[in-house]
Structure 1
Amino acid sequence: MVDSQGAAGQFERPISALNLSRPLKAALIEAGYKTLADIKQVSASDLSTELSVSLAQAEELLHQVDTLQAGPSEPNKLSSSQHRPIQHSQIQSSTAADLLSTASLPHFSTFSTSLDTLISRFSDADRDTRDGISSRKGKEKEDTGAIFPGMTVEISGPPGGGKTAVALGILLNARMARIGGVNGLGQEGEADRETDDQLGGEVLVLDTEGAITAERVYRAAEIVKRSSSIPPKQILHGIHIVRVLTQVEMIAFLHTLDDWLETHPKVNLVVIDTLSYHFRQPGLDMGTRRRIMELAKQKIGQATTVHRCAVVVCNQLATKLLTAENKPANFDTGDRAVLMPQLGDSWTTGKTLRIVLFRGGPGDELRYAHASVSGSNKDVPWACFDIDIDGIPCDVPDSLFRAITPPILDEDEVD
């Protein structure tokens, strides 16, 4: 028989006594739950909302707490409950409501309307048309970006092309969407601010070249503050920067990326700047390179599907020599040279959105972006944008934009 003191003792047990999956246990710890008594005070519906899990999982969690309260006097219930979480961890399912909820995922902007419009052509064009927001300009478009959790985007270009600046704009906007977005920057009530906060998440940055430093992010956050009331330190609070110095460290972190995201369930954007930096050594044999790229492909795929993150990867360009028949060549047999993403297709999937940044011709100081997806035949493959004096992507003034003519690109040059 279990007396009242014994029952109270059961509720003082830590949440580690529960047989839960690691993501759910990490979500409980992140939300501040330490003991069974803390969980018992919350209803299943509130628990489901706070932890971003289904109602069935929240009810199962409370059922485990009740079973542990019963103690050894009800072994059958304890035995039954011990097996249920294992089934949840082995077979993941989603209700129709869970699938429908992906329509309200946070969307991240580049801070450039032209770039967002270009990306939306390949990712979420119907949403812009349906919501009637395609005509919104500049800062009004910050909460209606085209990148959302589940997407993989590669940004490549020559040195000084603006790869890091575009990635920086995306991660800053992701944090603003998490805190409240444009609609909640000191203009809405607390209820609206809390609701918007639940839609977004935090950001993981893997910096290999030292381009995205905490100081640079802070300066950019101060600039963004001009159009919002969010303190820069609040924006930085949810940005995790990991400096990867060597190829060994990069491979090691890729191996642990899945576990890291499990322990940080609020992260919904991963930025890698740049993936190709540690894998451009000429002495790296093809077999090793292929295995590393397969690892990167697998871990990025897990981040987008299992952990519902958007992944933005920056890559450098490499020169490829071709013959007149477009066959691989060397310096002796080559007839022409083209710039291509350095890692090629070895790490990408068929749904990866590839954006190549480039400059205009002689006398053209503008920046352009060419976008493509494998198998896509979109008729608007390019966009014009600029980077302001603060290092943030922006739009080209309409008068200047109308006066220019887009450069003619050979598809092989941006493939």
Structure 2
Amino acid sequence: MQLPPSQTASSLLRSSRPVHRFSSTCDAIDQLVTPQSYINGHLSAHGSALEAGLSEGAVLELVGPPGIGKTRTTLGFALAERFRDEGGEVLIVDAEGSLVPSLIKQTAEAYAAHHEYEAGLVNEVLEGIRYRRIDSAWTLVAFFQTLESWLMEHPKVKLVIVDSLSSHLRPTLDTSTRTLIADTVIVTTQMSLKLFGPDHRPSKWSRDAEALLVPQIAERWIPSDVDAYRVVLYYAEDGERLGRLLSSPTPTQATDAAFTMDLLGPCDFPPANSQDESASP
């Protein structure tokens, strides 16, 4: 009989700590990527409820039409991580030209003002956000191929954000891009119109064909050995912003979400009593 290897006391303590989770700053969206059994009945060592959000090592794909708030949502994840105590560094890859440094700085300043942080903290937060602009397919593929070694050289980077993955790779991703999955990753992808016939199969144009929005990149780009979440953000008929969980490794706290958007990014709707107070003279 072979005894199991021994472990140090410090490693046992680290393994008993709550999993580090990344928040979008919007509880409704966080619940879409939080396991159903994670918070219910679970308390931290200090007696407080464990935090919700995307776990370390997971992948989140945000799918949706232009203007729904995918870029702002990724920025919410980035700033929540940077402003938290012991937050890690974030790598932002701007493949579409929407997540520009000026927007990151403007949102970080609004975030600090909203939470009443010292203005000087903004520079410290921005120092921990690394930025890359990708403007072609070959540059994007080259980036993926070198990402694993780059992350080994930058161990403080805990979150990778790619906006938008489908900008230069419309059909699907090949195996050379799968080194992307080296840490916690959040990507955005666009949607495109596709025609379907009465039998619900892809169809060419005809009077009976129906045009539907579908993700531009097939889900198989995500390796099967990682915890991956796919969330679509979309508009309701009345213009309300909604989110729906399309796939996840385990049941989550919620499968649907309603949210709004402000200068800080995605946020929950204020309580009804707060709306009533703001409306009163």
Q: TM-score range by the shorter chain?
A: 0.7 to 0.9
CA contact under 8 A between 2:245 and 2:255: conserved in structure 1? Answer: yes
Which of the residues 138, 149, 153 maps onto 1:259? 149
CA spacing shift, 1:349–1:98, aligned 2, 3 Å: farther
**C-alpha distance in 2 between matches for 1:374 and 1:105:** 18
Secondary structure (helix, strand or coil) at the match of 2:185 reads strand
Once the 2 structures are TM-superposed, how far is the Cα of residue 334 of structure 1 from its aligned partner? 5.9
Q: Deviations over 1:162-217 (max 9, x none)?
A: 0001000001111123xx1xxxxxxxxxxxxxxxx2xx421111101111121111
1:128 maps to 39
Q: Which amino acid aligns with 1:106?
A: H
Q: Percent identity?
A: 29
- Whether 2:220 is the aligned partner of 1:339: answer no
Q: Which amino acid aligns with 1:360?
A: A
- Whether 2:135 is the aligned partner of 1:245: answer yes
Gap runs ≥5 in structure 1 = 1-54, 57-94, 134-139, 181-196, 281-288, 304-308, 401-415
Once the 2 structures are TM-superposed, how far is the Cα of residue 381 of structure 1 from its aligned partner? 2.1
2:21 maps to 107
**C-alpha distance in 1 between matches for 2:258 and 2:52:** 17
**C-alpha distance in 1 between matches for 2:250 and 2:112:** 38
Which of the residues 94, 98, 101 maps onto 1:207? 94
2:4 maps to none
2:3 maps to none
Once the 2 structures are TM-superposed, how far is the Cα of residue 223 of structure 1 from its aligned partner? 1.2
Once the 2 structures are TM-superposed, how far is the Cα of residue 380 of structure 1 from its aligned partner? 4.2
Gap runs ≥5 in structure 2 = 1-6, 274-281
Once the 2 structures are TM-superposed, how far is the Cα of residue 245 of structure 1 from its aligned partner? 1.0
Q: Deviations over 1:129-169 (max 9, x none)?
A: 24459xxxxxx99x934112111000011010100010000
**C-alpha distance in 1 between matches for 2:196 and 2:16:** 44
**C-alpha distance in 2 between matches for 1:102 and 1:336:** 52
Q: Which amino acid aligns with 1:310?
A: T
1:398 maps to 271
TM-score normalized with structure 2 length:
0.82
2:255 maps to 381
Once the 2 structures are TM-superposed, how far is the Cα of residue 103 of structure 1 from its aligned partner? 4.7
2:106 maps to 219
Which has the higher relative contact order, 1 or 2, with Cα contacts under 8 A spaced 6 or more apart?
2
Q: Deviations over 1:305-332 (max 9, x none)?
A: xxxx210010001112112222221113
Secondary structure (helix, strand or coil) at the match of 1:118 reads helix
Once the 2 structures are TM-superposed, how far is the Cα of residue 378 of structure 1 from its aligned partner? 6.5
CA spacing shift, 1:115–1:219, aligned 2, 3 Å: same
**C-alpha distance in 2 between matches for 1:129 and 1:376:** 15
CA contact under 8 A between 1:155 and 1:163: conserved in structure 2? Answer: yes
- Whether 2:237 is the aligned partner of 1:357: answer no
1:118 maps to 32
Larger radius of gyration: 1
Q: Deviations over 1:361-395 (max 9, x none)?
A: 1xx2321000132576769421100001x152111
Q: Which amino acid aligns with 2:135?
A: L
**C-alpha distance in 2 between matches for 1:96 and 1:349:** 32
More helix by share: 1
**C-alpha distance in 1 between matches for 2:62 and 2:18:** 25
- In the alignment of these two chains, the number of paired residues is 260
CA spacing shift, 1:349–1:223, aligned 2, 3 Å: same
**C-alpha distance in 2 between matches for 1:317 and 1:233:** 35
CA contact under 8 A between 2:161 and 2:186: conserved in structure 1? Answer: yes
Q: Which amino acid aligns with 1:324?
A: P
2:279 maps to none
More strand by share: 2
